[in-house]
Amino acid sequence: MTDSAALVKPSKRRLFGFIAGFVSTLTFHQLTLAAVWKLGLAPFAPFSLAATAPFGVPAVISLAFWGGLWGVLLAWVEHRFPPPPHYWTVAFLFGAILPPLVAVLVVFPLKGQTVTGNGWSLLLTAILINGAWGLGAGWVLRMLSAR
């Protein structure tokens, strides 16, 4: 973490984390998904506008909201990350491991879903797109905190 980032108030840092996670979902996450989809590896397409329950918002906006909440968590723990260049590895791993793990262990069971059939394809896609999200969220968070 930069010295200037340490001076950011915790409430502002959480807001920056939300913004970083939201923006990273709409850019890094979805553009990586687009690339993986184009290669025929992703089991679902990017930028889904399908309505989600219970409010009927487009899936990509719902996903970006949850990405923002993950960004708040990132902002909470990011000060423990090593300085660059290792920072980027940890940011990638944060995204590549934690959100997919919570999806498989918490979200899917709550929705009555399981990882079947194309499970390996789904897992590889989740690791790549969420790792890209972690890189993007870390980068945006650092940029916002440095201002």
The stretch 55-77 carries a mean pLDDT of 97
| Number of residues assigned to the chain | 147
Residue 5, pLDDT score: 56
Q: Which residue has the tokens 């993950």?
A: 70
pLDDT given for residue 1 in this prediction: 46
User: What are the residue boundaries of the structural domains of the chain, listed by start?
Assistant: 3-146
Q: Answer whether residue 38 shows pLDDT above 60.
A: yes
Residue 2: pLDDT band with limits 50, 70, 90: very low
Of 79 and 123, the one with more pLDDT: 79
pLDDT at 124: 86
Question: Residues 141, 91: contact at Cβ < 8 Å?
Answer: no
Do 32 and 132 touch, CB atoms closer than 8 A? Answer: yes
Q: How crowded is residue 81: how many other Cβ atoms within 10 Å of its Cβ? A: 19
Cut 0.75: pTM above it: yes
pLDDT surpasses 80 at 87: yes
**Where does the pLDDT of residue 117 fall: very low under 50, low under 70, confident under 90, or very high at 90 and above?**
low
Give the C-alpha distances (Å, rounded to integers) separating 58 from 49, 81, 82, 129.
4, 33, 36, 19
Which tops the pLDDT comparison, 120 or 96?
96
Which residues make Cβ contacts (< 8 Å) with residue 118, sequence separation at least 6? 43
- Sorted by sequence, the CB contacts under 8 Å of residue 19 that are 6+ apart come out as 68, 71, 140, 144
Q: Give yes or no for a contact between 10 and 66, defined as CB atoms under 8 angstroms apart.
A: no
What's residue 49's pLDDT? 96
List Cα–Cα distances, 108 to 111, 134, 145, in angstroms: 5, 21, 34
Q: How confident is the model at residue 6 (pLDDT cuts 50, 70, 90)?
A: low
